[in-house]
Chains A and B, each alone.
Chain A
Amino acid sequence: MTTTPPTSGVDLFADEVVLDPYPVYAELRERGPVVHLPANGVYALTRYDVVRDALADWESYSSDSIAFNPSANEALAGTSLASDPPVHTRLRAALTENLSPRALRGLKPRIEAKADALVAELVERGSFDAVDALARAFPLEVVADLIGFTGHARDNMLRWGQAAMQVLGPMNRRTAENFPVAGELYAWCSQVRAEDLAEGSVGRGIFDAEARGAVEPGAAGHIIHQYLGAGVDTTVAAIGNIVALFAAHPDQLDLVRADPSLVPAAFNEVLRFWPPVNAWGRRATRDTVIEGTVVPAGAQIAVLFGAGNRDPRHYENPDAFLVARNPVDHLSFGYGPHGCAGQGLARLEAHAVIAALSRRVGRIVVGPETRVPGNTTRSIEVLPVLEVTSV
């Protein structure tokens, strides 16, 4: 016996929902593991097991519809992000050749030194905007140096990165306003040449790979596009969240200071508690039965990482921020063949920031945070740090 999934009138992309989706996530999770949302024309996956299983099952859930509007999906066609095996396997290998933890091993000391110097300077300053001075400044510098962005591209990384995530939403005002900006990134990536990127950078390495035939002709620009489009805005969000959550939970920062081996656990908990991405798309390739209800072939799926991450069926006391729980299996990087390709770099950056904060900072006193609604990334726009006490 199968039935149709329960329905809800929720609009996942309404301003108040994208700003604070957790009450809606709780409501949807209780309604069922998959809930039909006519307002968005999607079937939302809400519970931990269903989300994780769907991310692993590329045969039932295609990535050809990761965005919630057809124009963005068309623009992404041919990238590893939006393709399925076997094509995906080849594109992913080209993308990660220079980005996997294996490739990045040598960077760790440099990234740690940069984070430590920046945090030391901010502690000295005492009051600053944690988003601008740390959450944006640090990944922009790391990614720009790594990929070799200079000049015009470096100046526009943040704008381009933000727009690339905004345009994955449904065709609402935010998507429409951001298409021209995302188009600037697209245009730049389609004409970028090796000599536009700094010598010795990973970006140059991708062009070298193209020149020797290891990457197919024309693919280098696509790969650069994905580094920037997927890697900037999300990392900025994660680092802003680190500061905000440790400011709100000083006892948790004390735990990391007392036991630095908790740094990776702390980052896992930051990601579980506040994933940088709200909703991500898939397309059902066939009628799929989820706990007795049928999701029809062709349906647009919305994967709700944050709903799964707060599922009490999987995590005890899920609405508490507790670094010691070390939720290694959180859903915020996705999972499986499309698991975040940049997660190794994200970990290097975030671990360096958390370690530096826990070493150098006693308490972080912040004023009210400002948030701006976004279609894809959920991040803090301004986080005024009023006072920092040193250890």
Chain B
Amino acid sequence: MRIVLDRPRCEGHGLCEEAAPQLMHLDDEGELVLDREEVDGADAALANAAARVCPVAALRVA
């Protein structure tokens, strides 16, 4: 599974980081950084949780 970020749509709300801090974080500029893009098992569940809480649907797991 792969985490896909629609970067122009991301506004830096940061709810994904709260859901999955192991996989992504906002940098000092408030830009989202995916620390891991390929995920499986428990990480895939976390990635799905992060995608689910994005308020502008900028994240998906494919």
Q: Give the total number of A-B pairs whose CB atoms are below 8 A apart.
A: 45
Contact A100 B55 (CB under 8 A): no
Q: Is B53 an interface residue (CB 8 A)?
A: yes
Q: Which of A78-94 contact B (CB under 8 A)?
A: 89, 93
Sort chain B's interface into a size bin. Answer: 10 to 19
Contact A337 B57 (CB under 8 A): yes
Chain A positions 333 through 346: 1 when the CB is less than 8 Å from some CB of chain B, otherwise 0 = 10111011101100
Q: Is B33 an interface residue (CB 8 A)?
A: no
Contact B57 A102 (CB under 8 A): no
Known: A101-B14, A102-B30, A105-B30. A337 touches B55 (CB 8 A): no
Chain B minimum-CB-distance residue to A101: B12
Contact B55 A102 (CB under 8 A): no
Sort chain A's interface into a size bin. Answer: 20 to 34
Complex Cα distance, B2 from A276, in Å, reads 36
* Other-chain residue from A102, A103, A105, A336 in contact with B56 (beta carbon distance below 8 A): A336
CB distance from A260 to the nearest CB of B (A): 15
Interface of B is mostly: loop
Contact B11 A96 (CB under 8 A): yes
Most-contacted residue by chain B among A102, A340, A341 (CB, 10 A): A102
Contact A328 B15 (CB under 8 A): yes
CB distance from A96 to the nearest CB of B (A): 5
CB distance from B25 to the nearest CB of A (A): 14
* Other-chain residue from B8, B13, B57 in contact with A56 (beta carbon distance below 8 A): B57
Q: Is A59 an interface residue (CB 8 A)?
A: no
* Other-chain residue from B30, B53, B57 in contact with A328 (beta carbon distance below 8 A): B53
Contact B9 A337 (CB under 8 A): yes
